[in-house]
Structure formats: structure tokens, C-alpha cells
Structure 1
Amino acid sequence: MKIAGLKGHMAMLGANIMWGFMSPVSKMVLVGSVVTPLILTDMRIIGATFLFWFASLFTKHEHVSHTDMMKLFFASLLGIVFNQGSFLFGVSLTSPIDASIVTTSTPILTMVIAAIYLKEPVTGKKVMGIFLGASGALLLILSGQQVSNGNGSNIWGDLLCLLAQLSFSLYIVLYKGLISRYSPVTLMKWMFTYSSICIIPFSYSHILATDWENLNYPVLGGIAFVVLGGTFISYLLVPIGQRILRPTVASMYNYIQPIIASIVTIWWGMDTFNILKIVAVILVFTGVFLVTRSRSRAQMEADKKMQQ
């Protein structure tokens, strides 16, 4: 594997490891009901905005054209606002297990969109890889399923969670070209700035009404991780993987999240390890490997020229 390809894989792996930690850490932060899901989302977006602007002081200044600034606005809507906002409200309406299951649709949606928009081939190896990865993720999620306290399934909640995955898949495919033109810091600085402008008018009163004085140190530490690790670092890594890897390959790392979440919950004594989880992990990594080994459009076109 070439150094550039390895860099892309490590970037997407790192980002999804951070997002895998997000589930148990966020649950810990939200347990006391002082911080609501809406407030936590606001803190992620606004906190990351300040961090990216601070980071930009130590990086080379890049001029972004007016056309690309408009593209970054729509990219921020798909990659951050609609993705995080739809998932937030979706989870509030449906069960956590349904929301987790819906997230496994991201690589499938990405493959379909990439096939339509980028003319990426839908190969048998790619389909098999996505099937194995999804099977492993679903097995992992279902093996850890617990009875919810009256929080049952809701079709509108499920559809909102699906919309969140669709918006992120569109972002990965449609803005691959834009991502390659600027540094991750420049890209995220403007995307999170646009996202903050979009959310603050709808949540300003909730921020003021939050009882900040009742937050203890573990909760503050959890919030710090959500902002720094689960948002700033992860969104810094995603553009690196996005510009190097094919969209379907990049989205396959989504299946790493339930593995990391399971490891953390077992470590914290919230779950137990069993044979199903071992099988699930094997399926996920086998699926990721198959998709990374599938042939791209460029490779197939090169093969045709060789045969002519």
C-alpha cells in the first residue's frame, strides 16, 4: 500500500475511533439531564469553530474564492448541520437501537450515490464487502441490545436518522473535488463557522437556560472530549481521508464506530464480551478489506486501454 493511501486509511480510522468513543461518553454527559442533546450539539459546533479559527493562526493563510465559499456553505449544511441536526432529533423520537441500525446504511448510500454521480463501478467485491461489514455492525449492535425505558421505535425518528446518513453520504461524494483544493483547517474553519451561524438563532435561549454551575468535573471532561476529540480532531482527519480514498472506501470506516463503542462499554463494565462480538468484529474488518481491494473506475478504465 502506498504512503498516501495508508495516510488516508489511518485518517478515516482515527476519525471513526473518535466517533466510536462519542456514544458512551455522550451518554455519560447526558445522564444528569443538565446538558441536553441540543446543547451538546451546540457546544460541539461552536466549540469546534473556535478551535479551528485558533488553529488557522498557526497555518498558512489560504484564499478561498467566492464560488468555493458558497460551496462550503452547502457542504456545511450536508456534512454538519443536517447530519448532526437530523440525527439529534431522530434519536429523540426513536429508540437508540433503531438509530444505531440506521447508521449502517451510510456505506450503501455512498456506494449508490458514487455510482450515479462519479460513475464508480458497483463491483461484486464491493457489494460483498458492504454486506459483510453491515452484517458485522448489525450483529454487534443487536448483541448489545437492551430494553429501552419506554423509548420505542418511531418511523419519523428512523427517517430523520436515515436523512442524517444520506446527507453525510452526499457530502462525502459531492464535495470530494472541493476538499482536495484546501487544507483541512481552512475547510473546517469555514464549514463550522457557517454551521454555527445556522444553529445559534434556534438554540440561543436553550444555551442561556442551561444550569452551567451544576456541571461536575466528569461531565466537563466528557464535554471537552466531545468538542476536542469527537469533533475538532475527527473533522480534521476526515478531509484527509476524503481526498485520498474513494467515497465508498471512506464511508466503510463507519462500521468501526460500534466496535469502539462496544470496547468502551465493556471496559467501563456496562457490557460483556462474547463470541458474537468476536464474529462481528471479524465480519466488519473483512468487509472493510474487501471494499478497499475492489477496483475503482480509474483502474477499470486503465485495464480497458491495456486490452485495446
Structure 2
Amino acid sequence: MKDKQQGVLAVLTANTIFGLNIPVTKALMETWMTPMGYTVTRMFFGVLIFWLISLFLKKEQVEKRDFSVIFIGGLMGFIGTQFLFSQALQYTSPVIFSLLMALTPVVVLILSTVFLKEAVSLKKIVGILVSISGAILIIVLSDSGSEMSGNQFLGILFSLLCVLCYAGYLVLTRKVSMKYRPVTIAKWMFLVSALVAFPFSFSELGNQYIYSGNATVTAYAFLVFALLFSTTLAFFLMPYALKRLEASTVSIFMNLQPIIASIVAMLVGQDHFTWDKPIAVILVVIGVSMVVQKRHKPKERFQEC
């Protein structure tokens, strides 16, 4: 029971961090950083912190055949997802972005069905349709009167591409992620991402307003949160939780992210309440829950699809 309680605390903390990081990133994008500047800052910090941590752990050798997956996975999951994440928040609200990102398990199932030929049950198909209906509600009824209404479609497009990129990363790296320690995967993927991004971002880093003498304590606090908590701490908490809880339970906790991000965004004025948002949340949460759960079998626990 103690292990289960620790697992719940870990996954709750990780998803709270991920949820809070959405409005935090939005605040950084509004004034202090560009999407590319924010992305490469996280990439370089990731290289530093995870290679440093690996020095204190037993060395783990990566097979040569797995480096191609790590390379592509690093580009998709780190550069692609993180850049699209920050780019989307330039043009749309944290509420809309977080609700669309909650569709990730649904997209993972669709990609696994198409490319890995995994079986899909009627219940999961219904879950997919319910989740998609929530996403459609978000897109169709997104507030056209907001100050970024002219770019709202662009923000939604980047959000959907972010979902697709992250889901593709999860499907592609599923086997290597089970084969190696999280730190081993992270240090190589961050290194690949940083090396690829560096030629395109070298001139961009010097133009980040947050690195000027005009940056405030609040701006630095936001960046520290993104680096220490979202990029580092949450990364360790998720594998810790997966060792102590059913995979499906961990997946369901992901539904906290849009709820936390929405509440915080509305409290700080990044978005405002409309009737369609809670309905969209309910549809997405119900649909995702149906997708990530399997039928309960005697003496067995739920497993992730």
C-alpha cells in the first residue's frame, strides 16, 4: 500500500507540474522568449543536467542499432514537440492547447493500430469518437473574439501537430524506453536535439529578452520552473510512478493537465470561462479514459493498451 501511495503522489505531482508549465510557458512566450529560444534553452539544460546525473549512475551501454531510434525520437519528441508546444502557445490559449494535448493517448492508439497493427476494441473506438467530439467542440467554438483571434487557427494547428509529434515519439520509442534507464534515453535524446538545433538557434539565443538586463524576477522564476521542474523533476517522477501503479492509472492522471492548466490560465487572465470549455473537458476526459483502459480480468490489474 505504501508503494501505491508513493506512486499516486509521484504521478499527481508530475501531472501538476506539466499542467502548470502550460500557463508558465505562455507567460514566457508573451514577453520574454521566442519559441526557438525557449526550446533550445531547454535542450541545452537537458544535456547538462542529464549527462551530469549519468556520471553518478552505473554506465549503461546503448546498442548501435538503437541509436537510429534514439536519433529520430530525439528530433520528434524533444525538438519537434517542444518547439511546437511553445509555438502553439504564441497563438492560442493554455486552455485550448491543454485540451488538445489531452488527446495524446487517443492518437497513440490510432498510430499503434495503423502502423503496429494492434487490435482495437469497440469500446476504444467509441472513446476515440468521444474524445474527437470534444476536440471538435474546442476548435469550432474557440473564442473568435479573443485578442489573438486572427491567429487562433494557427495556434490550433500547431497544437494538433504537437499532439501528433509527441504521440509518434511515444510509439516509435516504446521499445527502447523499456530497454534502457530513463536517464540514458534522456541524455542521448537531449544531446541529439541540442546538436541539431544549435546551428539554427545560435543567433537566436542572444536575442532573447529574458537574457537582457531588463528581465524581472518573475520571468527568471518562470524559466527556472520550466527547467528544474518540468524538464527535470517531472521526468523522474513518471517512471517512478509507472513502477508502482498500473499503466492505465498513470495514463488517466494525465487528464489532470488540462484541468490544472485551464484553472490557472483563467485565474491569471490568460483565458476566460465559457460554457463550451467544461463540456469539452468532460468529453475529452471520458474518451481518453475509455481508450487507456482494458476490460478488467479476474486477478489481473488494468494494463495500458
TM-score (norm 1): 0.75
Would the aligned equivalents of 1:133 and 1:255 in 2 still touch at CA under 8 Å?
A: no
- Partner amino acid for 2:231? T
**Where does 1:116-135 land on structure 2 (aligned, <5 Å)?**
116-133=114-131
- Partner amino acid for 1:185? V
Deviates most, 230-239 or 23-32: 230-239
Would the aligned equivalents of 1:110 and 1:248 in 2 still touch at CA under 8 Å?
A: no
Deviation of 1:25 (Å): 1.1
Please state if 1:24 is matched with 2:23.
yes
Deviates most, 232-241 or 62-71: 232-241
**Where does 1:72-111 land on structure 2 (aligned, <5 Å)?**
72-89=70-87, 92=90, 95-96=92-93, 102-111=100-109
- Partner amino acid for 1:47? F
Tell me, what secondary structure is at the counterpart of 1:31? Answer: helix
Deviation of 1:262 (Å): 1.5
Choose which of 163, 168, 176 in structure 1 pairs with 2:166.
168
Separation of aligned partners in 2, 1:285 and 1:198? 36
Separation of aligned partners in 2, 1:138 and 1:21? 24
TM-score (norm 2): 0.76
Deviation of 1:204 (Å): 0.8
Structure 2 partner of 1:291: 291
Separation of aligned partners in 2, 1:95 and 1:28? 12
Deviation of 1:283 (Å): 4.5
1:41 and 1:73, CA in 2 relative to 1: closer, same or farther beyond 3 A?
A: same
Deviation of 1:50 (Å): 1.3
- Could you give the per-residue CA deviations for residues 252-283 of structure 1, whole angstroms, max 9, x where no partner exists? 66543221112223444666678766655555
Would the aligned equivalents of 1:107 and 1:252 in 2 still touch at CA under 8 Å?
A: no
Q: Which blocks of at least 5 consecutive residues in structure 1 are unaligned?
A: 300-308
Q: Which blocks of at least 5 consecutive residues in structure 2 are unaligned?
A: 298-305
Structure 1 partner of 2:68: 70
Separation of aligned partners in 1, 2:82 and 2:244? 24
Would the aligned equivalents of 2:106 and 2:288 in 1 still touch at CA under 8 Å?
A: no
- Could you give the per-residue CA deviations for residues 166-194 of structure 1, whole angstroms, max 9, x where no partner exists? 22111111221111111111110111111
Would the aligned equivalents of 2:103 and 2:284 in 1 still touch at CA under 8 Å?
A: no
Deviates most, 10-19 or 260-269: 10-19
Please state if 1:236 is matched with 2:236.
yes
- Could you give the per-residue CA deviations for residues 110-150 of structure 1, whole angstroms, max 9, x where no partner exists? 11111133333221222333444555677689898473325
Separation of aligned partners in 2, 1:294 and 1:240? 22
Q: Cα RMSD between the aligned structures?
A: 4.1
Query: Quick one: percent identity of the two aligned structures?
Result: 33
Would the aligned equivalents of 2:33 and 2:208 in 1 still touch at CA under 8 Å?
A: yes
Would the aligned equivalents of 1:188 and 1:236 in 2 still touch at CA under 8 Å?
A: no
Deviates most, 277-286 or 242-251: 242-251
Would the aligned equivalents of 1:110 and 1:251 in 2 still touch at CA under 8 Å?
A: no
Separation of aligned partners in 2, 1:89 and 1:274? 24
Deviation of 1:86 (Å): 3.6
Would the aligned equivalents of 1:133 and 1:252 in 2 still touch at CA under 8 Å?
A: no
Deviates most, 15-24 or 198-207: 15-24
Aligned length: 295
